[in-house]
Structure 1
Amino acid sequence: MRIYECADYRAMSRRAASLIAAQVVLNPEGVLGLATGSTPIGLYSQLVEWYKQGDLSFAGIRSVNLDEYLGLAPTHEQSYRYFMQQNLFDHIDIKPENTHVLNGLAADPDAECAAYDQLIRELGGVDLQLLGMGHNGHIAFNEPGDNFGLGTHVVSLSERTIDANQRFFESRDQVPRQALSMGIKSIMGARRILVVVSGEDKADAVCRAVTGPVTDQVPASVLQLHPDVTLVGDTAALSKLKEAGVPVCG
């Protein structure tokens, strides 16, 4: 695992965006696995800026997103399809038909999950998968205790994840209790993985994921077993790694 330390959120976003941009330039018809949440917003903004400057094109890129809330329409302001449109897709030249997000209103969620895994296979797999990391070490919506062998599946959200997402809704009661999510097996199938982390509140999770045992109690720890993982974080998020003596690059 390669670990890069950046001074702050802005620098982290730019470094992570540069890695994604390099992937797009090297493989302009490749498949990007994309993530939502507050952490990737800055890097998406940087990619949009480079596109508008004429430095980058997504015309041939295909994308697949990690997850979606069960029960939310694509037009709902808190759906992940809406997030991607607002923060990236509507501002670059990626073709709408090449952007793929799980359908939160699927009549048969299990069938939707199976079809999504088939879609990823038909696309030839994910070339670069972007990930954030939750406070409990979850990646996508794979919570502690979830089976590492699962593909895309229906997930019941933990109380901690519901609490963390409450800020995006008018009340806690409005936060969906389930989601459709790529599983650990799906994520580990990507050729390359890029993890972005920011803030002191993520320091414990990052340290446990990188230095602790590989355990389903810290889902991100499974990334230790992947052959090509890059972690980009700001100084605060990587603080406990440095205390533990883990080498990081500047």
Structure 2
Amino acid sequence: MKIIISKNHAASSQAACNKIVEIINEKPDAVLCFAGGETPLEIFQNLIKMKNNDDIDLSSVHFVSLDEWGGLGYDTKGSTNQTLYDALYTPLGIDLENNVHFFDGKATDLQAESQRILTIVKELGGIDISLLGIGMNGHLGFNEPGADLELEAGIIPLDPVTKEVGKKYFDTELDLKVGITLGLKTLLASKHVILIANAEKKAEIIKATVEGEVSNAVPSSLVRNHASGYLYIDKGAAKLLGGHHENN
């Protein structure tokens, strides 16, 4: 895994965006799996600017869903669906009907729904770029500490840390119990895995990710062994790291 440390989150987001664009230019029909949440929003804004300036052609890419809170959909502000549609897919002008494949968190059978998206991922030939935030506990998507390394997609009971941190996304109190997610096996099989984190509050989990044991106890640490893994962080998130890493 290559570690790129930038002076701030804006520079980190631009560097990650440049890497994504480089990969898409090499494969215009790339399959992309992007996390929601707050951390990637600047990357999304940079991609939208580049698309509007005709610096990148996204007409052939496919987006597949990473995760969704069980029971939520587009009509809940703060859901992954709402975030990604409003902050990324729609502004980019993506063909929402044919080129976006997203978990329905309100499906009556969430297990069947997880397999529906997994089947689409396989039919598309797998994921080219997974862009993932790192949870305070090192989770990737809803693959919580101790997650099954062989899980391709499924339903995960939410870790208490995830439930607590998740409250910031929603205007009202929600009883969140499970997440629907692509599993570690699917995400780690992506041709490129890009991790992004920022601020000092992430410094401890970044240290565990980069310098701790590689284990599903800290799912983000598993990307260390990926042949094309990247970690983009700002100086705050890098605060506890020793050694020499690329700076930009």
TM-score range, shorter chain: over 0.9
Shift of 1:30: 1.2
Q: Which runs of 5+ in 2 are unaligned?
A: none
- The TM-score normalised by the length of structure 1 is 0.95
Cα separation, 1, equivalents of 2:167 and 2:109? 26
- The TM-score normalised by the length of structure 2 is 0.95
Q: Which runs of 5+ in 1 are unaligned?
A: none
Q: Is the 8 A contact 1:120 1:126 kept in 2?
A: yes
The letter for the 1-side match of 2:26 is L
1:158 aligned partner:
159
Shift of 1:49: 0.8
The letter for the 1-side match of 2:246 is V
Shift of 1:9: 1.1
Cα separation, 1, equivalents of 2:3 and 2:222? 16
| DSSP-derived class of the 1:213 partner | coil
1:95 aligned partner:
95
Shift of 1:246: 4.5
Cα separation, 2, equivalents of 1:145 and 1:30? 30
1:59 aligned partner:
59
Q: Which moved more, 1:88-97 or 1:229-238?
A: 88-97
The letter for the 1-side match of 2:139 is H
Matched, 1:126 2:100: no
Q: How many residues align?
A: 247
Cα separation, 2, equivalents of 1:221 and 1:86? 30
Cα separation, 2, equivalents of 1:235 and 1:73? 35
Shift of 1:222: 1.1
Q: Is the 8 A contact 1:32 1:129 kept in 2?
A: yes
Cα separation, 2, equivalents of 1:204 and 1:94? 37
| DSSP-derived class of the 1:4 partner | strand
Change (3 A) 1:175 1:39: farther
Identity %: 28
Runs of 4+ in 1 over 6 A off after TM superposition: none
1:239 aligned partner:
239
Q: Deviations over 1:33-75 (max 9, x none)?
A: 1111110000100111111112122111001121011111223
Q: Deviations over 1:118-173 (max 9, x none)?
A: 111100111111111011111111111221111111011111111101112234x4
Cα separation, 1, equivalents of 2:245 and 2:12? 17
The letter for the 2-side match of 1:139 is L
> CA RMSD for the aligned pairs?
1.3
Shift of 1:78: 2.1
Q: Is the 8 A contact 2:77 2:170 kept in 1?
A: no
The letter for the 1-side match of 2:102 is V
Shift of 1:77: 1.5
